[in-house]
């Protein structure tokens, strides 16, 4: 007798595991939106600024290299070289830097996967990327944004290595983590060696004072990274500046003499779009302009409390420590302010801040949760409005000033001051770059020539001196014919033309 059954046959089947959700897509979306926002809100045609012209001129064939003062480092010239070494197009350079800065933000956030939920990282990236100072400096040839990216990568790799050490069978310390720590610290050191040291102070001290944080391979990787950038800066100190002590002394003098100096109020004054607040005088801006600045550490502290409850307190506390040391020199040891100085601190604080914001909206709260969500949404909308307003005014003002520099350069050419040529006086460095001329100064932070040297040069090539604000020309140029243009008076040497 045959027994039949309607049951399905037992067939051994191997099924593929369900595809993992694309958890990193939100980070890519934030980075892409950041790049797009830069291209829309900061026009690529905005001319190069003073510091940018110094950095770009080191690798550009468009103009002779400008004087490279003691505090500067060679990271930005290396960053822009792939474009600036063969093209004089400012638009192309801006687009290149905008795309690169978006990729940098993605890498900086991606390192933190597994340490924080992706939604926290995505919100952190959005908060950081929508600050007016981040959007303004992302596409510029300046170092501070890249120190911020390096800080994110280095601290993230440090904490990933720490997590692997506590569970080595699950997550061994990989080569990627070591290479990431070396690359992040090298990026910071090549851009601004002193900033790199301040950011890394907690990462270097923790392994030394706490046995559970000893990570010899990672510490070695960070030391190598820091050594590449700082080592190049030290070598250049002996080759060009008379030694390391002399370069440090010159750097301190150029920055107004480093020492105890409370600059918190200076930073507040700079938040209205003053890209360089020196001297930083005048009344404080309206409270609405800087309320977010005081809310930032408060919400980061809320995020720290949330992280402790979620058993990820160590990463948050390290973030807060590194953000604090990154901000210290610019809040208490310098006599002026620029909002870009605090970009590394903002980037590091953004992660615990995002953790705190999301806890207010999604955490247990019963009937209060909708109220908290509404208040947070309104605060973010108001914050974005303030950031956009400051950004738009800053871009308009900056674009107009740099357009005037371009007009002065065109008039220099019309008056016969064409390459090879020499420019001295007010704003000689950026206008000299625009005109394709060398720039020089007989006094001040960029002094690199004597009066006799200027007069000798005028016997061979065209020389002009710029005077702004109706002031008197230098003694050597008083007899030179004067021409008015775009708020400047040009004194053009009668010889060498």
Among 360, 354, 356, 386, residue whose Cα is nearest residue 373:
360
Among 417, 405, 432, 415, residue whose Cα is nearest residue 488:
405
Identify the DSSP state of 469: T
**Type and span of the H or E element at 484:** strand 482-485
Residues 412, 416: Cα–Cα separation, whole Å: 6
Q: Which two tokens stand for residue 138?
A: 């992302």
The three-class DSSP label of residue 324 is helix
Residues 481, 283: Cα–Cα separation, whole Å: 41
**Type and span of the H or E element at 407:** helix 368-414
- Residue 22: the pLDDT is 62
- Residue 367: the pLDDT is 58
pTM here is 0.93
* Helices 144-166, 313-332: inter-axial angle, 10-degree rounding: 150
Residues in the chain: 497
Among 488, 480, 492, residue whose Cα is nearest residue 426:
488
The three-class DSSP label of residue 470 is coil
The three-class DSSP label of residue 25 is helix
Residue 373 contacts by C-beta under 8 Å, 6 or more apart in sequence? 360, 361
Identify the DSSP state of 66: P
Q: Which two tokens stand for residue 125?
A: 């990236």
Among 458, 455, 462, residue whose Cα is nearest residue 437:
462
Q: Which two tokens stand for residue 282?
A: 């005048």
- Residue 13: the pLDDT is 42
Residue 155 contacts by C-beta under 8 Å, 6 or more apart in sequence? 184, 199, 203, 318, 319, 322, 348
- The one-digit pLDDT tens for each residue of the chain (497 residues) are 444 545 444 444 444 444 444 668 999 999 999 999 999 999 999 999 999 999 999 999 999 999 999 999 999 999 999 999 999 999 999 999 999 999 999 999 999 998 999 999 999 999 999 999 999 999 999 999 999 999 999 999 999 998 877 665 445 567 899 999 999 999 999 999 999 999 999 999 998 888 778 888 999 999 999 999 999 999 999 999 999 999 999 999 988 888 899 999 999 999 999 999 988 888 899 998 999 999 998 989 888 888 888 888 888 999 999 999 999 999 999 989 999 999 999 999 999 999 999 988 886 655 567 777 888 889 899 999 999 999 999 999 999 999 999 999 999 999 999 999 999 999 999 999 999 999 999 998 899 999 999 999 999 999 999 999 888 999 999 999 999 988 899 999 986 44
Distances (CA, A) of 311 to 161, 173, 360: 17, 21, 18
Integer distance in angstroms from the first to the last C-alpha of the chain?
Answer: 117
Residues 140, 123: Cα–Cα separation, whole Å: 24
**How is the chain split into domains, by residue range?**
259-363, 397-492
């Amino acid at each position: 007798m045959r027994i039949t059954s309607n049951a399905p046959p037992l067939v051994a089947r191997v099924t593929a595991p369900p595809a993992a959700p694309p958890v990193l897509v939100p980070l890519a979306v934030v980075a892409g939106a950041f790049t797009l926002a830069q291209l829309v809100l900061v026009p690529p045609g905005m001319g190069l600024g003073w510091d940018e012209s110094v950095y770009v001129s080191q690798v550009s064939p468009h103009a002779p290299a400008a004087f490279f003062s003691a505090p500067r480092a060679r990271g930005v010239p290396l960053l822009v070289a792939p474009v600036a070494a063969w093209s004089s197009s400012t638009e192309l350079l801006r687009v290149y830097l905008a795309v690169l800065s978006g990729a940098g933000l993605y890498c900086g956030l991606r390192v933190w996967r597994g340490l924080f939920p992706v939604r926290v990282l995505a919100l952190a990236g959005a908060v950081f990327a929508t600050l007016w100072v981040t959007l303004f400096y992302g596409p510029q040839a300046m170092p501070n944004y890249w120190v911020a990216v390096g800080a994110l990568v280095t601290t993230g790799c440090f904490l990933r290595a720490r997590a692997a050490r506590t569970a080595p069978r699950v997550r061994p310390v990989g080569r990627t983590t070591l290479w990431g720590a070396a690359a992040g610290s090298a990026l910071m050191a090549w851009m601004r060696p002193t900033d790199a040291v301040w950011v890394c102070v907690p990462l270097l001290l923790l392994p030394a004072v706490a046995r559970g944080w000893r990570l010899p391979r990672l510490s070695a990787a960070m030391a190598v990274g820091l050594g590449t950038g700082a080592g190049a800066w030290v070598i250049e100190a002996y080759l060009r500046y008379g030694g390391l002590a002399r370069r440090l002394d010159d750097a301190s003098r150029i920055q107004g003499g480093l020492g105890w100096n409370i600059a918190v109020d200076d930073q507040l004054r700079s938040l209205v779009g003053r890209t360089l607040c020196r001297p930083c005088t005048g009344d404080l801006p309206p409270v609405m302009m800087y309320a977010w600045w005081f809310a930032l550490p408060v919400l980061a502290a809320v995020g720290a409390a949330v992280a402790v409850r979620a058993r990820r307190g160590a990463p948050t506390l390290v973030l807060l420590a590194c953000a604090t040391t990154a901000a210290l020199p610019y809040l208490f040891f310098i006599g002026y302010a620029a909002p870009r100085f605090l970009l590394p601190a903002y980037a590091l604080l953004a992660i615990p801040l995002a953790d705190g914001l999301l806890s207010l909206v999604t955490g247990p709260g019963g009937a209060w949760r909708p109220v908290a969500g509404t208040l947070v949404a309104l605060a973010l909308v108001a914050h974005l409005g303030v950031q956009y307003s400051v950004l738009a005014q800053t871009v308009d003002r900056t674009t107009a000033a740099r357009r005037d520099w371009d007009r002065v350069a065109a008039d220099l050419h019309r008056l016969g001051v064409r390459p090879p040529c020499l420019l001295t006086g007010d704003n000689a460095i950026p206008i000299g770059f625009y005109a394709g001329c060398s720039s020089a100064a007989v006094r001040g932070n960029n002094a690199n020539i004597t009066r006799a040297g200027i007069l000798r040069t005028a016997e061979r090539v065209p020389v002009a001196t710029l005077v702004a604000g109706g002031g008197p020309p230098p003694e050597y140029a008083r007899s030179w014919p004067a021409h008015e243009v775009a708020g400047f008076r040009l004194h053009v040497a009668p010889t060498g033309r």
